[in-house]
Amino acid sequence: MTNWAEKIANDLAETILDVPVYSNVDPNREYSGGETIEFNVQSVEAIPTIKSEIYYNFQLIAATRAPSFSEALELLNELHDPLQNLLDGYVASGDAAAAFISSKEMSADVRGLIEGESFYGILNFSIQEKEEA
């Protein structure tokens, strides 16, 4: 089973040099007012087949964080194509059986009673990985 959040963060960090890329979404990470990209595995479902194979369905997010709504959205839009190209590459190489981006969201950061210190853009995506028995 692959640690997809770490793999994607490492692979994208090579192409997106001016924005820090993290392999986890950490609400306790000190926010210094800049832009960040964070990846997180939301859930993993194991799906066994009659042929003794197991497919793992990973639900992940890519979160862009920035000081304003428009900056977070712009970074999210800039991230979309490189992420999709990376996912397509994983499928083409056989590392993943399927991979796709399913939706885009925006929200204000909420810390205690303070809302809007920063904003998050979120890409929800899935990766299916086949593990042979």
Helices marked H in the chain: 4-13, 69-93
Q: Please give the pLDDT value at position 3.
A: 94
**Which pTM was predicted?**
0.86
Q: Please give the pLDDT value at position 26.
A: 75
Give the lowest-confidence range in 51-55, 92-96, 109-113, 126-130: 109-113
Three-state secondary-structure class, residue 87? helix
Task: Fill in the DSSP letter of residue 18.
Answer: T
Judge whether 22 and 39 are in contact, CB under 8 Å: yes
Copy the structure tokens of residue 82. 């490189």
The better pLDDT of the pair 24, 98 is held by 98
Q: What pLDDT band is residue 115 in, cutting at 50, 70 and 90?
A: low
Q: Please give the pLDDT value at position 79.
A: 94
- Please state the separation of Cα 109 from the chain's center in Å: 17
What are the pLDDT digits (tens) for 33-73?
Answer: 889 999 999 999 999 888 888 999 999 999 999 999 999 99
Closest CA to 2 of 76, 94, 68: 94
Q: Please give the pLDDT value at position 63.
A: 92
Give the count of beta carbons closer than 10 Å to the beta carbon of residue 15.
10
Question: Would you mind telling me the total number of residues written for the chain in this entry?
Answer: 133
Q: What pLDDT band is residue 133 in, cutting at 50, 70 and 90?
A: low
Is pLDDT of 76 > 90? yes
